[in-house]
Amino acid sequence: MPRPKTLRLQRQPKCYPRLHKSAPRRNKLDHYAIIKFPLTTKSAMKKIEDNTLVFIVFIKANKHQIKQAVKEKQACVPLAPHYDALDVANKIGII
């Protein structure tokens, strides 16, 4: 013998969910949170000899966000041929 169906009433909450937040959401990935610090290992030093600087970045940042952060912070990761990456690395304190 099957069980009888019970009466299902519509919900009547005491407080309704908020339709809009009180404050707008803040972007947690600003340009200073994306690029953390320069990497100073032997492999990074080999990259510096090839005119490329290596940085540790936030793990959830994608390539477009990293590129935008590098532009905003006015740093150039792959350097032009007439710049020496060793001099730049010395100036910003990598070496």
List, in sequence order, the alpha helices (H) in 1-95: 31-34, 42-49, 63-72, 85-92
For residues 34 and 66, the answer to whether their CB atoms sit within 8 Å is yes
- What is the set of domains in the chain, with CATH numbers? 35-92 (3.30.70.330)
pLDDT band (50, 70, 90) for residue 20: low
Q: Greater confidence, 24 or 95? A: 24
pLDDT at 9: 93
pLDDT at 81 over 70: yes
pLDDT band (50, 70, 90) for residue 19: low
pLDDT at 6: 92
